[in-house]
Amino acid sequence: MSRADRPADDARPVIELLGVSRTFPGPPPVEALRALDLQVRRGEHLAVIGPSGSGKSTLLHVLGCLDRPTAGDYLLDGIDVGGLPDRERTGLRGQRIGFVFQAFHLMAHRSVRENVEAAALYDGTPRTLRRERAEDAIARVGLSHRIDASPRTLSGGEQQRVAVARAILSRPSLLLADEPTGNLDTDNTDALLGLLEELCADGMTLVMVTHDDEVARRAGRRVRMVDGLLHEVA
């Protein structure tokens, strides 16, 4: 069994950063993350707030295994991500991490079901199992009645729910959300946050970047990022 396939342990943090830094070469070099220490436990809802250019996007890229730290250690479900070769990192990302963005990134010419199934098209999941998981994920976000609909016929809130269903298809332990309410009105924002809170209550860990203070206040925990450093918000 590879390190990426090891089962998660509910007693340990889903995310553990130990002195993690990310420096981009210059001139002059830019320290986007500066020796960060962070623990996020299973089922926790963490909001990351801060001004543009503070390092929030870099943090999400590191947490999502899309970028490697320059220094320090990142453990995801107890797995030393930095020590994994690229193939295992890709497998880990597909198995344990879901992504939701401000833009919905749905294929307009495909149905809701096909959009959600697309998350597992290339990971070797058999077609029958892929379809079953897609139907389960769509039901989880309350859209079974629109399963064959085109994204063109959905409201913004419904489209973001499809994006969430796609993100949770693999039943990840970590969901990363980058301004997920940025294109939604107040009612749809409230509904989406309610859905994300339900997922956390079921044991999924959520890290969400947002500029909206009202959205951030819904999180169980908040951290502010300034100049590549994290500060807990009371």
pTM equals 0.90
Look at residue 139 and tell me whether its pLDDT is greater than 50: yes
User: 140-156: per-residue pLDDT in tens?
Assistant: 999 999 999 999 999 99
Mean pLDDT of the 13-24 span = 96
- Structural domain contains residue 156: no
- Please say whether the beta carbons of 222 and 46 come within 8 A: yes
Number of domains in the chain: 1
- Structural domain contains residue 129: no
- Structural domain contains residue 23: yes
Q: For residue 176, give the CATH number of its domain.
A: 3.40.50.300
**Band of pLDDT at residue 121, cut at 50, 70 and 90:** confident
Average pLDDT, the chain: 92
The more confidently predicted of residues 4 and 217 is 217
- First and final CA of the chain: distance in angstroms? 41
- Structural domain contains residue 146: no
Look at residue 159 and tell me whether its pLDDT is greater than 60: yes
Rounded-to-integer distance, Cα 120 and Cα 138, Å: 14
- Structural domain contains residue 109: no
**Band of pLDDT at residue 2, cut at 50, 70 and 90:** very low
- Please say whether the beta carbons of 184 and 20 come within 8 A: no
Pairing assessment for the beta strands 229-233 and 221-226 based on DSSP bridges: antiparallel
Mean pLDDT of the 189-199 span = 95
- Structural domain contains residue 124: no
Mean pLDDT of the 181-209 span = 95
- Structural domain contains residue 60: yes
Look at residue 219 and tell me whether its pLDDT is greater than 60: yes
Rounded-to-integer distance, Cα 69 and Cα 161, Å: 31
- Please say whether the beta carbons of 188 and 157 come within 8 A: yes
Alpha-carbon distances of 126 from 93, 95, 232, rounded to whole Å = 19, 15, 43
User: 29-82: per-residue pLDDT in tens?
Assistant: 999 999 999 999 999 999 999 998 899 999 999 999 999 999 999 999 999 998
Angle between helices 127-140 and 156-167 (to 10 degrees): 130
The domain in which residue 227 lies consists of 3-104+169-233
- Structural domain contains residue 114: no
Mean pLDDT of the 123-136 span = 89
- pLDDT on residue 136: 96
